[in-house]
Amino acid sequence: MPTVRETILAALHARLPATALRGDVLAERVPPDGLLILRDGDPGEPEVTLSPVAYHYQHRAEIEAVIQGSDRDAAFDALCASIGTAIAADRTMGGLCDWVEAEAPRPVDLPVEGAARLKAAVIPVILHYTTADPLA
């Protein structure tokens, strides 16, 4: 049975638009609609409440967004907006989280020898959730 953390990350991955990988390496070819790679990130130190014991996390996952092609700026903007739309459609991921919010990306242009440049950014996604056991 998957942990609360894994269930939430899988739900986030399923909601991502475009081609989305999970914890994978950057592919040799970026699809025309862009490529997203979800990284599990860092759950951080939880706040703990007692009686009953509950661990309250602000888990920082990361989505790597990558676009390649001639119209990178507009395509990158559309890809980032689609991530925001997907998250805003259900901020609790069907009740799995208390709240989900994304932070603004910091895009960079990356040269690729013999190919069109890449436009990429890491988009932090904060997952607020509670669990009864940090390993469950």
Distances (CA, A) of 10 to 13, 28, 36, 87, 98: 5, 24, 14, 13, 16
Per-residue confidence in pLDDT tens, the chain, 136 aa: 899 999 999 999 999 987 899 999 887 788 888 999 999 999 999 999 998 999 999 999 999 999 998 889 999 999 999 999 999 999 999 999 999 999 999 999 888 887 778 999 999 999 999 999 999 8
Domains of the chain with bracketed CATH: 4-131 (3.30.2000)
Q: Where are the beta strands (DSSP E) in the chain?
A: 19-22, 35-42, 47-49, 54-68, 99-102, 108-112, 115-131
Q: How far is CA 72 from the centre of its chain?
A: 20
Q: What is residue 98's predicted lDDT score, i.e. its pLDDT?
A: 97
- Does the predicted TM-score (pTM) go above 0.85? yes
Q: What is residue 69's predicted lDDT score, i.e. its pLDDT?
A: 82
Beta-bridge mates of residue 39: 62
Q: What is residue 63's predicted lDDT score, i.e. its pLDDT?
A: 97
Q: What is the rounded CA–CA span in Å between residue 11 and residue 14?
A: 5
Q: What is the rounded CA–CA span in Å between residue 15 and residue 87?
A: 8
Q: What is the rounded CA–CA span in Å between residue 90 and residue 59?
A: 17
